[in-house]
Amino acid sequence: MDTMVFPTLTETDTALPVYLTSTGHWSNQEAIDRQSGYPHFQWLQVLAGAGELRVGDQTMIVRAGQGFCLFPNEQHAYYSTQEPWELIWMSFRGDLVEELFQQAGITQSGVYSTADHDMIVTHMKNIYAMTQSGRPFLGLECSKLVYMFLLDLMKVILVSSHSIEQHYLKLQPVLQYIDAHYHELITIKDLAGCIAVTPQYLCLLFKKALKMRPMAYVNRERVNRSKELMFREGDIRMHEIAQRVGFDSPSYFSSVFRQLEGLSPEQFKKIHGMR
C-alpha cells in the first residue's frame, strides 16, 4: 500500500539536532525529476525491483537491498528499470544530520549498500509506525528513532568494500588483548600480532572503525581504569595509580589524563568528593 506521512512539527521539534519531516512507502515508485532538488535530507531503501538514480551528470543503478541518500537542494532524478520498484523512504533535517552522515562515510548524494539491509528496513518501519501511534511528544519520539537509525547506518554502511561494523569486529581480539594487558607494556607490534596484520594496517583499521590510533585507545583504556582505581581505593597515591594502569611515569600519566579529561587526576578526585 502506498503511504505518505508529514508529521506536524512544533518549534521545539525543529530545534532538535535531528528531526523527521516525512516518511512513507511506495509499492512501485514513479519517476521523479527534481531540477532544484529537495529541501531536506532523504534516505530511500529499495525493497524490490531496480532503478536508476541520476545526480548531476552521474547515473547509478539502485537494486533491492541498497539505499540511496539525497542531500538537500541538489538536482536529481530517479526512476524504475525493473518493476515493481518498491521503496520505503524518509526525509529529515537538523544541524547534526550532515555530521552523522560524514561519520558513516556518506559525503555526497548517491547509492549505498549496507551490511544489514533488514535492520535498516526495521528502523524505517519503526519510524513510520511511530508517526501513526498518536503518542504525545511525537516529534521528539520520531527524532530519537531517526537518530538511532543514523547511528546504526554508521555501523553498517559499506564504504569501499567493508563496513565500520566489519572493521570493529575484526578488531575485537585486539580490544580484548588491551583489556587484559593494559597494565603491562603494550606495543603496536603486540597489537598487530593479535590479528596477524602489519602495524600499518592495524592503524588503518583503528582509524576506520574508531577514528583514533591504537595507542590513543590504549591510553583511554588506562585512564578509565585509573578512575576506577581512584573510586575503589581513595587513599591510593598517583605514582601507584600510574604504575598499576601501565604508564611509564606519574608525570606522563598526569599529562595524558589532563589531555583526555580536561583536568588533572587530583582535580578529578576533588570534584568527585575523593580526598
Q: Are residues 248 and 151 in the same domain?
A: no
Does some domain include residue 134?
yes
Q: Cell 511511530 appears where?
A: 130
Q: Cell 597489537 appears where?
A: 191
Does some domain include residue 69?
yes
The pLDDT tens digits of the residues spanning 131-164 come to 999 888 999 999 999 999 999 988 888 654 466 7
Q: Are residues 145 and 103 in the same domain?
A: yes
Q: Specify the pLDDT at position 126.
A: 96
Nearest to 101 by CA among 161, 63, 146: 146
Q: Cell 511525537 appears where?
A: 138
Q: Are residues 146 and 263 in the same domain?
A: no
CB of 4 closer than 8 Å to CB of 124: no
CB of 7 closer than 8 Å to CB of 20: yes
Does some domain include residue 265?
yes
Q: The domain spanning residue 20 has which CATH number?
A: 2.60.120.280
Q: Are residues 189 and 250 in the same domain?
A: yes
End position of a domain, from candidates 161, 189, 204: 161
Q: Is 118 exposed, middle or buried (0-12, 13-18, 19+ CB in 10 A)?
A: exposed
CA distance 128 to 133: 9
The pLDDT tens digits of the residues spanning 47-80 come to 999 999 999 889 999 999 999 999 999 999 999 9
End position of a domain, from candidates 108, 133, 161: 161
Lowest average pLDDT, out of 147-151, 243-247, 269-273, goes to 269-273
Q: Specify the pLDDT at position 146.
A: 97
Does some domain include residue 151?
yes
Q: Are residues 32 and 109 in the same domain?
A: yes
- Which residues are CB-neighbours of 146 under 8 A, at least 6 positions away? 18, 19, 20, 90, 92, 127
Cell of 160: 569501499
CB of 163 closer than 8 Å to CB of 115: yes
Q: Are residues 57 and 115 in the same domain?
A: yes
The pLDDT tens digits of the residues spanning 87-101 come to 999 999 999 999 999
Does some domain include residue 264?
yes
- Which residues are CB-neighbours of 133 under 8 A, at least 6 positions away? 141
Instruction: Please tell me whether residue 273 adopts helix, strand or coil conformation.
Output: coil
Q: How many CA atoms lie within 13 A of 49 on its CB side?
A: 18
Cell of 207: 582509524
Q: The domain spanning residue 182 has which CATH number?
A: 1.10.10.60
* Domain span holding position 207: 171-271
DSSP letter, residue 128: H
Does some domain include residue 166?
no
The pLDDT tens digits of the residues spanning 4-24 come to 999 999 999 999 999 999 999
Strand 3-5, strand 19-26: pairing: antiparallel
Q: Are residues 205 and 146 in the same domain?
A: no
The crossing angle, in degrees rounded to 10, of helices 250-261 and 214-232 is 100
Q: Are residues 111 and 18 in the same domain?
A: yes
Q: Are residues 118 and 41 in the same domain?
A: yes
Tally of structural domains, the chain: 2
Check whether 34 has a pLDDT greater than 70.
yes
Q: How far is CA 53 from CA 119, 121, 124, in A?
A: 23, 20, 20
End position of a domain, from candidates 161, 187, 220: 161
Does some domain include residue 194?
yes
Q: Are residues 177 and 155 in the same domain?
A: no
Q: Are residues 138 and 177 in the same domain?
A: no
Q: Are residues 243 and 136 in the same domain?
A: no
